[in-house]
Amino acid sequence: MNAVKKIHDVEKVREDFEKLIENLSKVLKEERPRTNILSTKLWQIKKELSNFDNLDRHALAKLVEIVVKYNTINNLFSSNIDYNKKDLIKIIEGTSNYIEDTNDTYNDHFFELSMGIRFSLAFQNQNAKINLASICDIIIDDKIAVECKYIHSLSNIMKNIKKAREQIDTRISNNQAQIGFIALDLSNVCARDRISEFADYTFKKFIENYEILESKGHLKGDLADRILRDRNFTAIVANYATLELETALHSELGFSYKMPFHTKAIIFQSLNSFAFEYKGKIKPMTTRGTTYFINENLLQDEALMTKKFIHSLAVGV
């Protein structure tokens, strides 16, 4: 398993979101000239951002998670990814409800786009051709097919994996790819309350210890900021979040899953957001935990290469 974390500067988050609105306004003018960006959920989110200081920390954490998710789309406009602009329209339609966001249907399209961006970042030094515009979710260099499924209910996880397997079989039989990966997002089905409770408890304990060091004159400055930059703290929180991801996963699938040879692995991820408060200041942070099943039929060298490839996707957040 692995995890990526990011501490967010609120002003930078706002700045990137403004850039996203600018980029997507251009797409709307091309695809739906009668639709104004002001009537989309992005403008609703922009209004919430302007009310940032009046939100409680739980609402703030959710809002930052959504905005940070959306901001990753900016990478599409500076990459060589071939994507369908209509998919961008799908992720900004509807109303914004950041409390129920993880179960919103736009996540199905958004997960495909975000995985395509992660592959692009992982392959950025290899000039790989990444196609999000085909019938397959993601095609890389006409060799790798990636089928993405956003899981809305754990009871449907087996059904989604079966469908992804069949889709990869079709891509390979049609010579669209040579090998395949299945990617699942379990953000909506992990025990988010338990993860948040654990993170708050851990932050409190770190504060207690940091205050001891401060009282001895060994530390100065913003203790909350120091803690969020402490690798021990972020590793503990991120790894616990990944533990909850794996618990949700293994409770449904056990500890292995049989795959056809050309499907190299199933990748599972979960995104979590936090907002830690200390002395009247709130610090947001997001983590993405990732774990995977490697095809048991792979030889040792190929299994190691597959693991290395998956770890190269630990980019962004």
- Separation between Cα atoms, residue 102 and residue 236, nearest integer Å: 23
Query: Residue 312, Cα to own-chain centre: how many angstroms?
Result: 15
Question: pTM value?
Answer: 0.88
Q: Over its length of 317 residues, how does the chain's per-residue pLDDT go in tens digits? A: 566 666 667 788 889 999 999 999 999 998 888 888 888 889 989 988 888 878 888 888 888 889 988 998 898 887 777 888 888 888 887 777 766 777 788 888 889 888 888 887 777 766 667 787 776 688 888 888 999 999 999 889 999 999 999 999 999 999 989 999 999 999 999 999 999 999 999 999 999 999 999 999 999 999 999 999 999 999 999 889 989 988 988 888 887 788 888 999 999 999 999 999 999 888 889 888 888 999 999 999 999 999 998 988 866 55
Write out 217-284 in H/E/C secondary structure.
Answer: CCCCCCHHHHHHCCHHHHHHHHHHHHHHHHHHHHHHHCCCCCCCCCEEEEEEEEEEEEEEEECCEEEE
- Cα separation, 138 vs 147, in Å, equals 7
CB-count burial class (<10 Å; 0-12, 13-18, 19+) for 295: buried
Spatial separation of the C-alpha atoms in residues 279 and 129, rounded to whole Å: 49
- Please choose, from the candidates 284, 288, 290, the residue with its C-alpha nearest in 3D space to the C-alpha of residue 271: 288
Cα–Cα dist 308/301, whole Å: 11
Handedness of CA 287, 293, 298, 300 (dihedral sign): positive
CA distances for 158 relative to 168, 220, 254, 263, angstroms: 15, 51, 11, 16
Please report, to the nearest 10 degrees, the dihedral formed by the alpha carbons of residues 35, 37, 40, 45 taken in order.
180
User: What gap in Å lies between CA 286 and CA 72, rounded to an integer?
Assistant: 13
Give the integer Cα–Cα distance in Å for 5 and 292: 18
Strand (E) or helix (H) holding 2 = strand 2-7
In the chain, domain spans: 2-192+230-311
Q: What is the pLDDT of residue 126?
A: 66
Tell me what pLDDT residue 180 has: 94
Q: Which residues pair with 144 in a beta bridge?
A: 140, 179
β 179-185/263-278 pair status? parallel
Q: Please, are residues 293 and 258 in contact by the beta-carbon 8 Å criterion?
A: no
User: How far apart, in Å, do the first and last CA atoms of the chain sit?
Assistant: 15
Bridge partner residues of 182 (DSSP): 147, 266
What are the Cα distances from residue 300, in Å, to 29, 246, 291, 294?
Answer: 51, 23, 19, 11
